[in-house]
Structure 1
Amino acid sequence: MQILQDEFNKSIAELAASAKTEAELEAIAASVPEMFNEILNRLPKTILESIKRDAYQGGLDEIRQSHLDFKARNYQRWKDGFDALELFIGICTEAGDNFNKRLRPTATKNGDILFDTITRLHAKGCLIAKEIACLLTNGFADGAHSRWRALHEITVTSKFLTEKGNDTVERYLAHEYVDSYKGACQHKKYEERLQAAPLSDHAIASLKVKYDEAISRYGNDFSNSYGWAEDALGKKRANFADLEKSVDLDHWRPYYKWSSQNIHASAKTIRSSLGMTETSADLLLVGSSDSGMTDPAHSMAISLSQVTVNLLQLSPNLDNAVAMKIILEMTNEIGDLFLKVHKQKST
């Protein structure tokens, strides 16, 4: 902080001005490190208290009001798209809820793990879609795009499990013990540096039993990241791209890679931003922007429609057929609405 340097310089200048002899100047110079440490220990606390006082007396309210004002302008610009998106998420969520309520009792009685897993994946997809919508309305298109990556993974996994059936679902569920045990061991390894208590030795030992049972049943390769999918794919060291290809969603790989730029610390990440698509200025974006909504919004609508349709197709009936038709119609409409606003600004 410049204020710290200014305070230090001021103190040294005052002391130097008061010195009357060369010996006094040398004594002042010798005391500089001690003086610097004293200021470093005292001033930051004083500054922080001042910052807190100003913030709690109205500074934070001003910041919040400024963001609310932005959010209102952002909504006004993208109103038709945002409204359609909110309605669309509600329709998909309600369709999943109705499906779950209708079939859950029978599925539970029959131990239908495919139903349970696909339903849970759909619920997670609806939650992520709401998170994406929240990011968009608050002006964080890049964050929304990176969150879409998770929704795409949910969609691909849901379709893959549906196509491959119960044996793959069992492996998918059993792989939880692989992830949990590996995570617990990693936490244990770094507990001192993390300064956070890991699971107890007893809990880790219990996970190890489950882990060993899974490896014993499915083989050593089951410990791989996508070990649960390798048998269905007929491939060792499988990755997510293999799942995409298996369910014919590999054409989304460019968008998946694009969204990953907002997760990883690549050079492109710090120079490229959806929030800066409507300016050629070399700015450092650190807050909200009303630009770049179209791609994450439409991508989200497409993926949510895919995971919802995949769910409803587990038990087709007239109501589900109507719901699927509405969902697909709205998916196209959302893309058109956002693109229309984007083009208006661009021209």
Structure 2
Amino acid sequence: MQELAAAAGSEEERRQISADVPHRMENLLSKYPSEMLAGLKVNAERGLAERRKLHAEFVDRNTSRWKEGFDLLELQIEISIEAGDSFTRRLRPKATAEGDLVFDLLVRLQAKGILVAKEILTLLKNGYADGAHGRWRSLHEMTVTAMFMLAHGQEAARRYLDHESVDAYRAALQLEKFVSRLNTPGFSEGELAQLKARYDAVLDAYGKDFANAYGWARPFLGKGNPNFLSMEEAVGLDHLRPYYMWASQNVHASAKTIKTSLGLSETVSEALQVGPSNSGMTDPAHSTAISLSQLTITLLRLAPNLDDSVMMKVLLLLTDEIGQAFVRCSENPIA
């Protein structure tokens, strides 16, 4: 546009060119981006293949550096699967017959915890320590919840399950507020009415404070408006709060988040991380081992036999070994 204006022979031509600029820009923006994207797609396969090759080579180097720790953490995950499966098979018939809500919740929490631990291991192996740390935060929450259920029994489990009606209704109202902007159909009047009826029913049963985020836990904590910290304190895991807050930095967009990274913990100069790194695995890995062992042991403590008692000790020993192994691996040179 500037070249056209410079080549104009008169003021009238310059005015005409200026007047035509919006039309020319609109025409350019309506065609050029799609043409550019089509060209990028044509050439993408070669570039993507090269990037995948480079990442596979990185994973090999990363695994080589942290192999001892990765192998032990993977072993712990497999042991937890087998322990949970054996325990569930043994006690499921009795628990089902008795309508044991605590049993069902602990089994589900441990299964979900194993899934999260596998996600964490995948992130670590692929060089994303900060992402793994953020996922550990979720695993810690599951562990605290499981320990709380074990401590407070069937009534806590029932209230926890019934609180889903509060969460569901509030989520539906949130969605309805933005259906047009989200371009989603939302809920029908009948569906909303049904959700509202469930919401009203649990508030009638438990009181208006039940609508709070942790209202289901209120009778067991002696606080008017309990929160997750209250639960951590109740089960004796509040000493992990500093690590929980640290991991939260990888979930929220705080100033700390954009200035620090586990993946940059061994850099000597200013850098911005936009891809994988083979630094910073120790804390998220050991935290995962601790929480997964706590979660699995909580399940086994519900009704342990001799095999379960042995397995609890095995998990505790392995957790310590995992921490020590990752410290040793961190001393290996960066490949």
With normalisation by structure 2, the TM-score equals 0.96
Partner residue, 1:228: 216
Q: Does 1:24 align with 2:13?
A: yes
Q: Give me the whole-angstrom Cα distance separating, in 1, the residues matched to 2:11 and 2:200.
A: 76
Structure 1 residues 95-133: Cα deviation after superposition (integer angstroms, max 9, x where no partner): 101111111111111111111111111111111101111
- Identity over aligned pairs, percent: 52
Q: Which residue of 2 aligns with 1:318?
A: 306
* Alpha-carbon distance, 1:21 to partner: 3.8
- 40, 49, 64: which one aligns with 2:38: 49
Q: Deviations over 1:246-285 (max 9, x none)?
A: 0010000000000000111110000010000001321111
Once the two structures are superposed, the pairs formed by residues 190-269 of structure 1 within 5 Å of their partners are: 190-269=178-257
Check whether the contact 2:65–2:332 (CA below 8 A) recurs between aligned residues: no
Amino acid corresponding to residue 281 of structure 1 in structure 2: S
Alpha-carbon offset, residue 204 of structure 1: 1.7
Q: 1:331 aligns with which of 319, 324, 331?
A: 319
| Larger RCO (CA within 8 A; separation ≥ 6) | 2
- The corresponding residue for 1:66 is 54
- Computed over aligned residues only, the root mean square deviation of the Cα atoms, in angstroms, reads 1.4
Give the deviation of 1:39 after TM superposition. Answer: 1.4
Q: Is the counterpart of residue 91 in structure 1 residue 79 in structure 2?
A: yes
Which of 144, 148, 151 is 2:139 aligned to? 151
Displacement after TM superposition at 1:331 (Å): 0.4
Residues 121-175 of structure 1: CA deviation (Å, up to 9, x unaligned):
1111111101111110010000000100000000000001110111111100100
Q: Aligned equivalents of 1:272 and 1:20: distance in 2?
A: 57
Other-structure match for 2:22: 33
SS in 2 for 1:181: helix
CA contact (8 A) 2:123 2:131 kept: yes
The runs of 5 or more residues in structure 2 that have no matched partner are none
CA deviation profile, 1:162-221 (whole Å, cap 9, x unmatched): 101111111001001010011111111111111112122212211211111110110000
Q: 2:109 aligns with which of 98, 117, 121?
A: 121
SS at match of 2:36: helix
Name the structure 2 match of 1:130.
118
> For the Cα contact (< 8 Å) 2:65–2:333, is it kept in 1?
no
Structure 1 alignment gaps of length 5 or more: 1-10
Return the letter of the residue paired with 1:102. R
Equivalent residue runs for 1:169-184 within 5 Å: 169-184=157-172
Following superposition, which runs of at least 4 residues in structure 1 exceed 6 angstroms of deviation?
A: none
TM-score by length of 1: 0.93
Return the letter of the residue paired with 1:254.
P
User: What residue identity is the alignment partner of 1:55?
Assistant: A
Range with bigger deviation, 102-111 or 240-249 = 102-111
Shift of 1:321: 1.2
Distance 1:62 1:84 in 2: 31
* 2:155 corresponding residue in structure 1: 167
Whichever residue aligns with residue 70 of structure 2, its letter is F
Structure 1 position 77 matched with structure 2 position 69: no
Q: Which residue of 2 aligns with 1:4?
A: none
